[in-house]
Amino acid sequence: MLEIEPLERPIDSWYYATNSDKGEITGSSGNAHANDLAMEAHTVYGPEVHAGGAHEDVHVLAWHRIGATNTTLMGEGLAVRVGEVWWSDPLDTWVEGWKEDGSLLSLRDLIDDFWSHDDAVTYPTAGHFVLWVDRTWGMDTVKALYVADDLNQAFEDELGMTTGEVEAAWIDSIE
């Protein structure tokens, strides 16, 4: 799906029963995180949290095979895009509901202010945006945007559109 070469070795995956166990061992008590340089994925998979899946592996693969991303939108968006679901529901379902009720985050919010919004909204929205770019222009374009120093300029260079035009086309694609 990412159209990349395999890594030289497998990604080491570590699973923890609770967030506190993960925090005590790794220093990060979040549901999951990747250590790109060490080629590791650390994930809580226990009675209360099931954060398994390819998400953290995508971060490691992308860092080694595509490069470092310069925007959270593209970094988290690519990792969520791979599964095409968020909390067991298709990404389309999430953004269709937010578009309908008027609460869909703007592309500007996702580029400039990702972490100021609820993760339960930013992650699936970013995933849907990257999925749309992939469906519309292909994975090579996703990769170019992923590593772009200036995403707004990259929209013009890669898509021939301003950020506002990209946002309008993306929103128009949501049914």
pLDDT tens digits, residue range 96-139?
Answer: 999 999 999 999 999 999 999 999 999 999 999 999 999 999 99
Same domain (yes/no): 39, 72: no
Same domain (yes/no): 138, 58: no
Same domain (yes/no): 111, 128: yes
State the residue for tokens 């390819």: 54
Same domain (yes/no): 77, 157: yes
- Is 3 part of any domain? no
Q: Minimal CA–CA distance to 81: which of 138, 113, 123? A: 123
Confidence of residue 41 (pLDDT cuts 50, 70, 90): very high
Position 71 scores a pLDDT of 97
- Which percentage of the chain shows pLDDT scores above 90? 95
pLDDT greater than 90 at residue 52? no
Same domain (yes/no): 86, 124: yes
Same domain (yes/no): 114, 139: yes
- Per the confidence metrics, is the pTM higher than 0.85? yes
**Are 42 and 33 in contact, with CB atoms under 8 Å apart?**
yes
Same domain (yes/no): 58, 89: no
| HEC letters along 50-76 | ECCCCHHHHHHHHHHHCCCCCCHHHHH
3-state SS class at 107: helix
Position 11 scores a pLDDT of 98
Structural domain including 172 reads: 68-175
Confidence of residue 77 (pLDDT cuts 50, 70, 90): very high
The count of domains in the chain is 2
Position 165 scores a pLDDT of 98
pLDDT greater than 90 at residue 90? yes
DSSP H helices in 43-175: 55-65, 72-83, 91-101, 107-112, 119-137, 139-147, 151-154, 163-173
Same domain (yes/no): 168, 121: yes
Say how far residue 43 (Cα) sits from the centre of its chain: 16
Question: Residue 74: CB partners within 8 Å, gap ≥ 6?
Answer: 126, 130, 142, 145, 146, 148, 151
- Structure-token pair, residue 58: 């995508």
Distance CA 166, CA 22 (A): 39
- Is 1 part of any domain? no
Q: For 102, phi and psi rounded to 5 degrees?
A: 80, 10
1 DSSP assignment: -
